[in-house]
């Protein structure tokens, strides 16, 4: 047993910090509870700094193969921590208004991030499953946190039941994998070696379908997406944003670990390529078309995030170095744009008590800067230059075209992107074009500083990756090292 606590320092720190935040709650008087928010912000940033300084590489494996700190893991940890940071920052208004147990709220967000960090580092089925549960159980609670709000409770319950179901499916699939290979380790194509000798093909397909279904729930892939719009709508908005980015990134990392880990990347595509390609196509089609019909911006963003998962999977199916780094850059771009957009949704919800798209009317007059920021985030989600989303889509399309057999998928991606522009543009239209009488009482909005930080981080990330993507592309291409092609 190689007990490598040193490569686990960020996780251990953050876990400890969650306890600290929970405990600190007891010592602050009601008026001073904002300090908890700043503490959580600090925790996420400090953990991110620790992640950067923690060594990565093929030798950084600990606890059997349960914990592996490669560049892939640390990249996703940064994404998760940034998402956590932005979610916590954007929760300032929401927490003051409708969250009662503030210490638990922040503590659970941090705890969930710890689970996700373990998840992306797991190269072994058992630790992967445990980490997955650690990351989702806090989210069930967080979703239902506004307990006096009926939709929130409903969302929490739905999420819990479907989450449990998906975990069961996942576990079932994992048990097949273990049974057939005799190993739970997900390194270096452990199944590919067996494939030639033993006739276990169909069993593996079955196990893979179950695993994909299980993780499909977490990723809100069509047809496992039914919970997402309800949960996204009901959950407190900062949690929605956290769910839509961090949880998706972690789920994607788990899928990558399992599928690319059990197979080598190339052979994997032969077995599961078409399955995931179909899921990607469905996600893009259903996600985008359903988003067209939404009048609530949180539901619209929920469907849009379902569609975004589809675009990510296009890169995944391409099964190449380019594809994997495409996924990474996509997640990164999606992080900034989506978290930024949700931060603005929180702000609007706070000021207007409404999530309806039509209530965004006249925003450009009232607070032009917010309207411009929102526009940039939506353009990034739609993939229009010069934003991060364009670079990301570009790279994912690139990977699929390089693959050569995925033209049909690229065509679907292109067509649905056009559809997506329609609904993103609708929000822009409301903000800039639709006229609305602004009441005199609605003076210019002053946003709290944490939420302003969240919006700024999103804005800067979106524009920098969009205009000078070079360093991020370099970073994303190192992420793919630890997989065998």
Partner 1 sequence: MDSSILTILTFLPILGVILIWLTGKENHSMIKIIAWAVTFIDFVLSLYIYFNFDAAESGFQFVYNVPWISHFGIQYAVGIDGISLWLVILTTFLGWLAVWSSWTAVKDRLKGYMVSLLILQTGMLGVFVSMDLFLFYVFWEVMLIPMYFLIGIWGGPRKIYATIKFVLFTMLGSLLMLVAILFIYFKSGGTTFSILELTRFCVTLPVSTQMWLFAAFGLAFAIKVPMFPFHTWLPDAHVQAPTAGSVILAGVLLKMGTYGFLRFCIPMFPQAFEQFIPAISVLAVIGIIYGALVAMVQKDVKSLVAFSSVSHMGFIMLGLTALNMQGMQGSILQMLNHGISTGALFMIVGMIYERRHTRMIAEFGGVFKSMPIWSTFFIIVALSSIGLPFTNGFVGEFLILTGTFGVAPVYAILGATGVILAACYMLWMIKRVLFGELTKDENKNLTDLKLFEKLVLVPFIIMIFWIGIYPSTFLNPMKTSVEKLIGDVTKYVKHTDIENEAEAFIPYNPHEPQTEEHADVRH
Judged by beta carbon, residue 139 or residue 410, the one nearer partner 1 is 410
CB 85 within 8 A of CB 41: yes
- Least separation in angstroms between residue 476's CB and partner 1 is 9
Structural element, H or E, at residue 61: strand 61-62
**Is the Cβ–Cβ distance between 466 and 390 less than 8 Å?**
yes
Confirm or reject binding of residue 280 to partner 1 (CB under 8 A).
no
Tell me the closest approach of the beta carbon of residue 400 to partner 1, in angstroms.
Answer: 9
Contact mark string toward partner 1, 307..326, x via CB under 8 A: --------------------
Query: Peptide bond before 223: cis, by omega within 30 degrees of 0?
Result: yes
385 touches partner 1 by CB under 8 A:
yes
208, 259 Cβ separation under 8 angstroms: yes
110 counts as binding partner 1 under rule CB under 8 A = no
Tokens, residue 375 = 């526009």
From the CB of residue 97, how many other CB atoms can be counted at a distance below 10 Å?
Answer: 12
**Tokens 């600990």 found at:** 62
**Shortest distance, CB of residue 255 to partner 1, whole angstroms?**
25
190 contacts 260 by C-beta, under 8 angstroms: no
Among 64, 266, 273, 386, binds partner 1 (CB under 8 A): 386
- 187, 286, 384, 459: which one contacts partner 1 (CB under 8 A)? 384
Whose Cβ is closer to partner 1: residue 240's or residue 420's?
Answer: 420
Q: In the bound complex, what is the minimum distance in angstroms from residue 196's beta carbon to partner 1?
A: 31
CA gap 413, 201 in Å, rounded:
31
Does residue 469 touch partner 1 according to CB under 8 A? yes
d(CA 394, CA 391): 5
CB of 211 to partner 1, least distance (A): 31
Piece of 110-118, 155-163, 304-312, 364-372 that binds partner 1 (CB under 8 A): 364-372
CB of 248 to partner 1, least distance (A): 24
The interface region with partner 1, picked from 47-55, 95-103, 108-116, 467-475 by CB under 8 A, is: 467-475
Q: Does 464 bind partner 1 (CB under 8 A)?
A: no
Among 397, 452, 462, 482, binds partner 1 (CB under 8 A): 397
Minimum CB separation of residue 482 from partner 1 in Å reads: 20
Residue 330 touching partner 1 (CB under 8 A): no
Cβ of 35: how many Cβ atoms within 10 Å?
Answer: 14
Stretch touching partner 1 by CB under 8 A, among 14-22, 53-61, 101-109, 363-371: 363-371
If binding is defined by CB under 8 A, does position 460 make contact with partner 1? no
**Shortest Å, Cβ 426 to partner 1:** 8
Q: Which ranges in 220-296 belong to alpha helices (H)? A: 227-234, 237-242, 248-262, 265-292
Q: How far is CA 290 from CA 81, 338, 358, 452, in A?
A: 30, 18, 17, 31
By CB under 8 A, tell whether 477 contacts partner 1.
yes
Q: How many CB atoms lie within 10 A of CB 198?
A: 11
Query: Closest CB to partner 1 among 5 and 422?
Result: 422
- The interface region with partner 1, picked from 146-154, 290-298, 335-343, 395-403 by CB under 8 A, is 395-403
Confirm if 278 and 316 have CB atoms less than 8 A apart: no
Q: Does 390 bind partner 1 (CB under 8 A)?
A: yes
Encoded tokens for 424: 């993103």
By CB under 8 A, how many residues form the interface with partner 1? 32
The smaller minimum CB distance to partner 1, of residues 448 and 478, is found at: 478
Backbone angles phi and psi of 199, in degrees to 5: -90, 70
Q: How far apart are CA 316 and CA 216, in angstroms?
A: 14
Measured from the CB atom, is 94 or 428 closer to partner 1?
Answer: 428
288 interacts with partner 1 by CB under 8 A? no
Find, among 220, 415, 379, the residue nearest to 302 by Cα: 220
Dihedral Cα 209, 211, 213, 215, nearest 10 deg: -150
- Which ranges in 60-101 belong to alpha helices (H)? 71-90, 92-98
Per-residue x/- mask for partner 1, residues 404 to 433, rule CB under 8 A? ------xx--xx-xx--xx--x--xx--xx
CA distance 343 to 366: 17
Least Cβ distance, residue 458 to partner 1 (angstroms) = 18
Stretch that binds partner 1, among 23-31, 118-126, 277-285, 391-399 (CB under 8 A): 391-399
Please, how many CA atoms are within 13 Å of residue 369, restricted to the half-sphere of its CB?
Answer: 9
Which one, 169 or 364, has the nearer CB to partner 1? 364
With CB under 8 A as the contact rule, the residue among 42, 149, 394, 485 that binds partner 1 is 394
Contacts (Cβ under 8 Å, ≥6 apart) of 278: none
CB nearer to partner 1: pick between 103 and 469:
469
Closest CA to 288 of 424, 426, 419, 427: 419
Residues 361 and 430 sit within 8 Å (Cβ to Cβ)? yes
Q: Which residues bind partner 1 (CB under 8 A)?
A: 364-365, 368, 379, 384-386, 390, 394, 397-398, 401-402, 410-411, 414-415, 417-418, 421-422, 425, 428-429, 432-433, 468-470, 473-474, 477
């Amino acid at each position: 047993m190689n007990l490598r606590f040193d490569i686990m320092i960020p996780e251990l720190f953050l876990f400890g910090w969650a306890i600290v935040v929970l405990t600190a709650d007891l010592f602050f008087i009601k008026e001073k509870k904002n300090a908890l928010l700043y503490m959580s912000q600090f925790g996420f940033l400090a953990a991110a700094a620790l992640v950067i300084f923690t060594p990565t590489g093929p030798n950084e494996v600990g606890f059997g193969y349960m914990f592996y700190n490669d560049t892939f893991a640390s990249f996703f940890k940064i994404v998760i921590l940034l998402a956590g940071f932005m979610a916590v920052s954007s929760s300032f208004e929401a927490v003051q208004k409708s969250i009662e147990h503030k210490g638990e709220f922040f503590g659970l967000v941090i705890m969930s991030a710890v689970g996700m960090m373990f998840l992306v580092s797991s190269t072994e089925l058992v630790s992967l499953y445990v980490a997955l549960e650690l990351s989702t159980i806090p989210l069930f609670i967080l979703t239902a946190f506004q307990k006096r709000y009926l939709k929130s409770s409903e969302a929490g319950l739905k999420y819990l039941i479907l989450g449990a179901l998906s975990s069961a499916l996942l576990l079932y699939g994992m048990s097949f994998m273990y049974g057939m290979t005799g190993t739970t380790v997900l390194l270096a194509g452990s199944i590919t070696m067996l494939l030639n000798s033993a006739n276990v093909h169909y069993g593996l397909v079955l196990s893979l379908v179950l695993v994909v279904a299980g993780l499909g729930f977490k990723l809100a892939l069509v047809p496992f997406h039914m919970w997402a719009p309800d949960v996204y709508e009901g959950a407190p908005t900062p949690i929605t944003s956290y769910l839509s980015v961090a949880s998706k990134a972690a789920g994607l990392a788990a899928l990558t670990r399992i599928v690319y880990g059990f197979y080598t990347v190339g052979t994997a595509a032969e077995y599961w390529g078409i399955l995931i390609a179909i899921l990607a196509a469905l996600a893009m089609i259903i996600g985008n078309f359903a988003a067209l019909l939404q009048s609530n911006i949180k539901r619209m963003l929920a469907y849009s995030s379902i569609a975004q998962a589809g675009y990510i999977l296009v890169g995944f199916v391409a099964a190449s170095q380019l594809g994997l780094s495409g996924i990474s850059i996509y997640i990164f771009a999606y992080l900034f744009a989506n978290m930024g957009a949700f931060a603005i949704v929180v702000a609007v919800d706070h000021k207007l008590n409404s999530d309806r798209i039509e209530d965004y009317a006249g925003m450009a007059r009232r607070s032009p800067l917010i309207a411009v920021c929102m526009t940039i985030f939506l353009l990034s989600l739609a993939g229009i230059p010069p934003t991060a989303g364009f670079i990301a889509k570009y790279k994912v399309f690139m990977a699929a075209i390089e693959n050569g057999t995925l033209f049909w998928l690229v065509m679907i991606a292109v067509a649905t992107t056009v559809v997506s522009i329609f609904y993103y543009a609708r929000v822009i239209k409301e903000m800039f074009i639709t006229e609305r009488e602004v009441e005199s009482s609605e003076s210019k909005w002053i946003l709290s500083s944490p939420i302003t930080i969240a919006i700024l981080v999103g804005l800067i990330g979106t524009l920098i990756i969009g205009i000078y993507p070079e360093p991020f592309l370099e970073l994303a291409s190192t992420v793919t090292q630890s997989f065998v092609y």
